[in-house]
Amino acid sequence: MRKKIVAGNWKMNLDYTAGLSLFSEVLNMVNDEVRGDQEVIVCPPSLFVYSLAQLAKQNSRVSVGAQNGHQADSGAYTGEISASQIKSAGAEYVILGHSERRQYFAETNQLLAEKTNAALKNDLKPIFCIGETLDERNQNIHFQLIKTQLEEGVFHLSAEEFAKIVLAYEPVWAIGTGVTASPEQAQEIHAFIRSEIAAKYGAEVAQNTTILYGGSCNPKNAAELFSQADIDGGLIGGASLKSRDFTDIIKAFNK
C-alpha cells in the first residue's frame, strides 16, 4: 500500500535557532502519532537541513527534505545547491516544481525534468508539485495543464524511477490564500492524476503512488481532505510553522 505523508514546507521562514526549536518540538510531539504506513517530512531552508537531519536520526518516521536542488552535478553555479550536496547533508527528499519556483524563478517543466533526474541519480526522492492557477481553472484548461506538467516533468522516467517520487497537487489559488480546494475539488484532480499514472505506468504503479494535497491545509480541514480516496496526505506551508497545528494535521490521519 502507498505511504501516507504529511510534509511541511517552511519556505523562506524562521531563523536558525527558531527552526531548530520548532523541529525539536515537532519531533517530540509526533512521536506517538505516526503509525506504520505514515511518514512526516520537514523541508526547511537548505541552511538548516544538516542540523535537522542530525536531530531526525533518533526518529525513523521523520525525515528531512530540501525545497529545491540544481540540475547539474557540480560546477560554477554560484548560490546553487546540487542534489548530491543535499543528500550528503542528510536529506531524503527534495521538493521540485513548487509553484513559487515556477512563478518567481521561471522553472519550466523541461528544467524540472532535469532536476528530477539529478535528484533520483543521487538517491533523493522528489516531491514533485503540480497545479493550476485560478485563471487556468476559470478557463477550464486545468486538466490539460496538469497532464502536461506530468508528461513533461516526470513521465520520461522508467516505472522503477517513477515509483520513487511523491506527487503534490497544489492549486496555486489555494496557496497561502486561506482558500482551500474543497475535498471534492481536490479528490477530482487527484483521481485524474492517478488515472494518468495508470495509463502511463499501469494500475499497480498508480495505486502505489503517494499524491499529496497542498494549499491552505490546516488542522480544521485536514481530516476531511485526507479521507478522500486519492488524497494520501498533505504538503503544508503556513500551518507547518506551528508545532501544534502541524501535529494536529498529522493526527488527522487517525481520525
Q: What is the CA radius of gyration of the chain?
A: 17
Q: How many positions of this chain bind ligand 13P (CB under 6 A)?
A: 14
User: Smallest distance from the beta carbon of 44 to ligand 13P, in angstroms?
Assistant: 13
Which of 157/225 has CB closer to ligand 13P? 225
Q: Interface with ligand 13P includes 214 (CB under 6 A)? A: yes
User: Smallest distance from the beta carbon of 220 to ligand 13P, in angstroms?
Assistant: 13
C-beta of residue 140 within 8 angstroms of C-beta of residue 101? no
User: Smallest distance from the beta carbon of 76 to ligand 13P, in angstroms?
Assistant: 30
Which residue of the set 70, 98, 142, 190 is catalytic? 98
Site for ligand 13P in 76-105 (CB under 6 A): 98
User: Of 44, 65, 97, 215, which lies in the binding site for ligand 13P, with binding defined by CB under 6 A?
Assistant: 215
C-beta of residue 143 within 8 angstroms of C-beta of residue 192? yes
Site track for ligand 13P across 7-46, x = CB under 6 A? --x-------------------------------------
Site for ligand 13P in 96-155 (CB under 6 A): 98
Question: Segment contacting ligand 13P (CB under 6 A): 13-21, 31-39, 107-115, 170-178?
Answer: 170-178
Which residue of the set 107, 132, 136, 170 is catalytic? 170
Question: Segment contacting ligand 13P (CB under 6 A): 32-40, 49-57, 150-158, 232-240?
Answer: 232-240
Q: Cα–Cα distance between 236 and 223 in angstroms, integer? A: 14
End-to-end CA distance of the chain: 19
User: Of 64, 237, 246, 251, which lies in the binding site for ligand 13P, with binding defined by CB under 6 A?
Assistant: 237
User: Of 30, 166, 217, 222, which lies in the binding site for ligand 13P, with binding defined by CB under 6 A?
Assistant: 217
3-state SS of the chain is: CCCEEEEEECCCCCCHHHHHHHHHHHHHHHCCCCCCCEEEEEECCHHHHHHHHHHHCCCCCEEEEECCCECCCCCCCCCCCEHHHHHHCCCCEEEECCHHHHHHCCCCHHHHHHHHHHHHHCCCEEEEEECCCHHHHHCCCHHHHHHHHHHHHCCCCCHHHHCCCEEEECCHHHCCCCCCCCHHHHHHHHHHHHHHHHHHHCHHHHHHCCEEEECCCCCCCHHHHHCCCCCCEEEECHHHHCHHHHHHHHHHHHC
User: Of 176, 195, 203, 207, which lies in the binding site for ligand 13P, with binding defined by CB under 6 A?
Assistant: 176
- Torsion angles phi and psi, residue 61, rounded to 5: -100, 0
Q: Is 39 a catalytic residue?
A: no
Q: Is 170 a catalytic residue?
A: yes
Catalog residues that contact ligand 13P under the rule CB under 6 A.
Answer: 9, 98, 170, 175-176, 214-217, 235-239
Question: Which residues carry out catalysis?
Answer: 98, 170
